[in-house]
Amino acid sequence: MHALIDRTLATVETASLDLAPRRFGRVVACDGGLIEVSGLGVPIGTICTIAQGAATEHRAETIGFRNGHTMMMMLGDTVLLRPGAIVRPEGQPGMLAVGPEFLGRAVDGSGEPIDGRGPVMATKSWPAGGYRVGALDRSRVTQVFDSGIRSLNALTTFGVGQRIGIMAGSGVGKSVLMDMIVDGAKADAVVVGLIGERAREVSDFVTRHMSGDRAATTAIVAVPADHAANLRLRGAMLATSIAEHLRAQGKRVLLILDSLTRVAHAAREIGILLGEPGAARGYPPSALATITKLIERAGNSEQSGGAITGLYTVLADGDDQNDPVVDTARAILDGHIVLSRDIAQRGQYPAVDVGASLSRVMNDIVPAEHAAVARRFRALAAAYETNRDLVMMGAYRQGADPLLDEAIALYPRMCQFLSQPGEESVDLATAFAQMNELVGRES
């Protein structure tokens, strides 16, 4: 308690005193979560407080302008909001508090703690949209990132600074796979953004990962599904900004965003409120541009030497791998892991679809022997899956295809290789050795 008081007093001592007269406006219209304010011209991104008597206060974010009025979106419910309520700006527009103070803490989209341990006391500011840098500042991916997952290390090897998507429908194991990677990852810091997920899942994740030695290097930004759309979007930006600030200090950061689809849904809500037309299956152009901007902020930094390895879960609505969000993410990411419902229903976890998964940097970071064995494993898996129905019906005649004959013989062991218990971690060297023993020598 004394340490918290000392930090608070130190912050007050260094804070600058603003003696400028405070501007204010008044609420003139409310349509759902969108409100119009007259008499207050503030930049987009400004957070404002809306006074509701002596005890009640709302908060809103500026998202646009129309007919001389400032358009704002509530950061909470509109209950008790009334016409003529006084609106006052606060803080720095478009800036978020960041810093190492967030490590070991769990906060919401506004940076307020949800772990019951008092204020975070972060004093550094960072643009919500990040600092734009030149393309050549993103150095090449040259080092291997050990995910701790046997199938991923062997067949879709990640690199430090790579951006990877985990794509699947609901209930196929995205969150479980994400948990396994967090447990097995080797990074200076881990920043997790749980955006638009169930509150129970947020509670479970905090309980599992904010204890022990890992907690001191882990920051969690959690905005459950029942929060306002702009608060969910701010949560994704806050998690990315915290990771960027740590990268600027030369740290290797693992950034996990669960899920990118919920971020796109939030951006879609805001775009539609502002009157933007839905272009691709109801997604306005700004919604798809939002996820592209978030992804591009991850990667290696030539200037600081730090890196952000980005791991993004992507919910395929209706198991549609051609959903606009899935398609946009797959086009901009450096690799994608596809989880198959059919494979999960066979009891194989993690349910990685080897043929549909890809790491675009794998050939640049692993030895030629590793890449060759991985290609052979893929060829065997593809041969079996293509002819699976024939084999199951007994319609295939042995000897017609030597590759398929070998795939049939090895299939049980290949399924065992791809399966892994949630509490087990397999490093890269072990994964390659086991794969090489299984399919390394051609018959």
DSSP result, 194-263 = EES--HHHHHHHHHHHSSSGGGGGEEEEEE-TTS-HHHHHHHHHHHHHHHHHHHHTT-EEEEEEE-HHHH
Indicate the range of 169-173, 217-221, 349-353, 404-408 predicted with least confidence: 169-173
C-alpha span between 283 and 325 (Å, rounded): 9
For residue range 331-382, what is the model confidence (pLDDT) as tens digits? 899 999 999 988 888 888 899 999 899 999 999 999 999 999 999 999 999 9
What band does 443 get if pLDDT is binned at 50, 70 and 90? very low
More confident residue, 32 or 98: 98
Spell out a b/e string for 83-94, using b for 16 or more CB atoms within 10 Å of the CB, else e.
eebbbebeeeeb
Extract the tokens encoding 104: 């070991």
Cβ contacts of residue 181 below 8 Å, gap of 6+?
147, 148, 149, 254, 256, 311
Q: Would you give the distance in Å from CA 260 to the centre of its chain?
A: 6
pLDDT at res. 371: 94
DSSP conformational letter for 352: B
The hierarchical CATH code for the domain 21-89 is: 2.40.30.20
For residue range 54-76, what is the model confidence (pLDDT) as tens digits? 666 888 999 888 888 999 998 88
> What mean pLDDT value characterizes the chain?
87
CA torsion, ordered 383, 322, 422, 108, to nearest 10 deg: 170
Report for 92-96, 351-355, 420-424: range of highest mean pLDDT: 351-355
More confident residue, 33 or 425: 425
C-alpha span between 91 and 87 (Å, rounded): 14
| pLDDT over threshold 50, residue 47 | yes
**Residue 306: C-alpha distances to residues 124, 146, 296, 365 (Å):** 18, 17, 15, 18
More confident residue, 201 or 373: 373
| pLDDT over threshold 90, residue 158 | yes
| pLDDT over threshold 70, residue 9 | no
pTM: 0.89
Indicate the range of 8-17, 100-109, 167-176, 296-305 predicted with least confidence: 8-17
pLDDT at res. 31: 83
Q: What's the whole-number mean pLDDT along residues 26-46?
A: 89
Please, which contacts does 214-218 make with residues 24 or more away whose CB atoms are closer than 8 Å? Answer: 214/182, 214/183, 214/190, 215/104, 216/103, 216/104, 217/103, 217/104, 217/187, 217/188, 217/189, 217/190, 218/103, 218/104, 218/182, 218/189, 218/190, 218/191, 218/192
Indicate the range of 116-120, 192-196, 202-206, 222-226 predicted with least confidence: 202-206
| pLDDT over threshold 90, residue 12 | no
Instruction: Give the dihedral sign, CA 312/167/375/415.
Output: positive
Q: What's the whole-number mean pLDDT along residues 200-207?
A: 82
Domain 369-440 part of CATH 1.20.1270.330: yes
User: For the chain, how big is the Rg over CA atoms in Å?
Assistant: 25
Domain ranges of the chain: 21-89, 95-363, 369-440
CA angle 119, 80, 25 (to 5 degrees): 75
CATH domain 95-363 topology: Rossmann fold (3.40.50)
pLDDT at res. 406: 92
For residue range 262-286, what is the model confidence (pLDDT) as tens digits? 999 999 988 888 888 877 777 888 8
pLDDT at res. 298: 93
Q: Would you give the distance in Å from CA 243 to the centre of its chain?
A: 11
pLDDT at res. 126: 92
